[in-house]
Amino acid sequence: METIETRVLPIEYDDNTEVKAKEIKNILERNPNFFKAFLPWDHIISCIDKENPLYIGEEDSILNHLDISASDANLILTNQLTSSKEDRKLILAYLLDQKYNEQEEKDDIEDKEIKLSVAIAYYDNDYQQLHSYLIESKEEKDEEILAWLNDNYRFELLDFLIENQSTYLIEDNKLEEIKDMIDITLDEMDVLEEKGEYQTISYPMTKEETYHITKEFLATIDPTLSWLELFTQAEKEHKFIEELDTWQTFEIEDEQYINTPLTNTLEDPISLVHTFIDYISCIKTNTKTKDYKIGKLPSIFFENLMCQFLIQKGYPKEEVNKYQQNRLLRVVEHCEEIEDILYYMEIKAKGNLITLEEGKKLYNNENLNDTSLTQLAVEICDVTINNLLWFKDMIPEVYPYILGKRYADILTDEYVTNKDILPQMINLTETLKEKTTKEVLNKTISKTK
């Protein structure tokens, strides 16, 4: 029996296993610190004694005798999980999305490898610490590692997310236009300082009552009754579904459906009208939407008319007003959500990277010391990232509500004295996908001035 010394453990062998012993030595010597941490025994490795806990047979591998799987060990030893800065900001996005947006943890190889790669970077070749992380409870350490990743890569991630958002604006040079719209909207609404709280609508209304009053409204606004017929047909074809948490239209195998999470209150007929108008726009034109920005103008306009209709029918005005106040608050929140995003987009439009220093410039007029300024910039960065992860396309998701609310209110006011607005809005609803924002505002809004 002979023995080979290594920087990890000695290896015993005989003439028949000398080649195997040398093979094991070569593997150990590639990364001795790794094997010192992950080998569960601290005595001799044997190629001949089958009773030895570290007996390695001819077809066996030292990687099969570690505290972690052979596949994980191989990934670590071959540097397959080494992550670049570019990788780490994307990993940060993945982990934050998983944490804050209630994504279920994936019990698969990809998820495991992602987290292992971050742990390797965090422990920076400290294999004893990596061993503790992999073998012991990970939950507390996962939080610690995520905080480290966030501290080091939050602004790189924000830069990446903002760049993706910017494509919606830079292509048609709409950045300044949207900024102006938000400023005007907030000024006109004048509710930032005392914007109040969301109001609970409590006036009861059954499903039958909701559908009945909606049909009555559709028959009133459209004397041709074509919209009423569409509604009735949708009922017959079971297009109204109560499965999702939000009012929305959605498509299944080229067929449009309407999700109706009824609350059995006066809120239901208003929400139903809003969503049904969206449905009409979807089914009337079988083309790709030309301009997302104008998408909510018709539905909010007819939502406004439905509110007036309910009051005229004797439903409690204070309950209807709650709905309109809630709509207003949502639009204000949308404005606030994208104000900071637009600031970051300006940075990208100038060809600059988004950094901590650029973030601090947003609040230079707040008379804060550098520590407080840094803390504020970091907090806003984190909130913005979370918003962008929740709304993968923040601008297309929320801006139509901002533009739609402002111009729908203008048209609703003008409708009192100009009844021609109604047929124009019916036509716009049915041809919405074919229109651009500029066309709509020139043909509809300009005529009211």
DSSP string, 150-175: HHHHHHHHHHHHHHHHHHHHHTTT-H
**Residue 426 contacts residue 420 (beta carbons within 8 Å):** no
Q: What is the dihedral of CA 368, 373, 375, 376, to 10 degrees?
A: 90
What local confidence, expressed as pLDDT, does residue 182 receive?
83
**Residue 108 contacts residue 166 (beta carbons within 8 Å):** no
Percentages (nearest 5) of helix, strand, coil residues in the chain = 65, 5, 30
pLDDT in tens, 424-439: 999 999 998 888 888 8
CA distance 348 to 230: 46
Which DSSP state fits 103? Answer: P
Q: What is the dihedral of CA 289, 291, 296, 302, to 10 degrees?
A: -80
354-360 contact pairs (CB < 8 A, 24+)? 354/155, 354/158, 354/159, 354/162, 355/155, 355/159, 356/155, 356/381, 359/155
Per-residue pLDDT of the chain (449 residues; tens, 9 = 90+): 899 999 999 999 999 999 999 999 999 999 999 999 999 888 899 999 999 999 999 999 999 999 999 988 988 888 777 778 788 888 888 888 877 765 555 556 677 888 888 888 899 889 999 999 888 767 788 889 999 999 999 999 999 888 877 665 555 556 777 788 888 777 766 654 455 688 999 999 999 999 999 999 999 999 999 999 999 999 999 999 998 899 999 999 889 999 999 999 999 999 999 999 999 999 987 666 667 788 999 999 999 999 999 999 999 999 999 999 999 889 988 888 888 888 888 888 888 999 999 998 887 766 788 888 999 999 999 989 988 888 777 888 888 999 999 999 999 999 999 999 999 999 999 998 888 888 888 877 755 54
What local confidence, expressed as pLDDT, does residue 107 receive?
53
170-196 burial, b if ≥16 CB within 10 A, otherwise e?
Answer: eeeebbeebbebbeebbeebeeeeeee
- Give the strand pairing for 255-259 and 248-252: antiparallel
Closest to 210 measured CA to CA, from 267, 263, 269: 269
Closest to 151 measured CA to CA, from 118, 117, 111: 118
* Mean pLDDT taken over the chain: 88
Decide: residue 110, CB within 10 A, 0-12 exposed, 13-18 middle, 19+ buried: exposed
- Let me know how long the chain is: 449
CA distance 155 to 139: 25
pLDDT in tens, 190-225: 654 455 688 999 999 999 999 999 999 999 999 999
CB atoms within 10 A of CB 115: 22
- Give the strand pairing for 45-46 and 11-13: parallel
Which DSSP state fits 55? Answer: B
Beta strands in 170-286 (DSSP E): 240-241, 248-252, 255-259
**Residue 93 contacts residue 114 (beta carbons within 8 Å):** no
Report the predicted TM-score, pTM, of the whole model to 2 decimal places: 0.75
CA distance 89 to 309: 51
**Residue 333 contacts residue 325 (beta carbons within 8 Å):** no
